[in-house]
Structure 1
């Protein structure tokens, strides 16, 4: 658990960047998280942490909300990652990490490691994204080449 603690301390100190994003687990999170996964793969790769509040809205352990907030949304995201990204992203990993949450209760966050891909990935019926310093942007046709 001590190793988890050092990982948690590192994660909660990070702001959104070209290779890191944190998302609270909510119903509307699914589409944005899917965009971020595709954008990371199409840019430099990165880490998406589920169950963690944005750096601009909370600091320290107050960021740790956990995936129990909406476990169904996590399941929905897993399904969409498998069925709505074309071509599929190889070597995507989901790592659950137990931690103490903002309210003092035990919980869990998930770290999704998205490798940089040699392919250009799109969301079925929703376009192709790339990662910027903070956020995602729709790719133009010439950027996909």
Structure 2
């Protein structure tokens, strides 16, 4: 399901919508990218907030970061690859390699600090799933 606010990043701010056909080309063409995983806005209403905040953050980091919206058709596949467990999520890549993730909604200052911190990292493997969280605390 899509709403006007959730479509705003790609319609009003020119962020590309990445699907199975253009994902690999986009993430390998740019040095640093942030991918917006929205999921279903009825289940995850914070996606609306991130849709408004992300284009503003991209203006601040314009010389260092390209943004894109992930199509729902490939969100679950990429979620498994990057191993995040909540929505909405912003996944950061450098030339296609994982740097980090921010999940949920943050304060403006926290976003700025986290964007800068993640962009200073070297590519790494996504973290493993926390089985304590996945299994309700019984690992």
TM-score under structure 1 length normalisation: 0.29
Q: 1 or 2, which has the higher helix percentage?
A: 2
Comparing both chains, which one has the higher relative contact order based on Cα–Cα distances under 8 Å and sequence gaps of 6 or more? Answer: 1
TM-score under structure 2 length normalisation: 0.30
Q: 1 or 2, which has the higher strand percentage?
A: 1
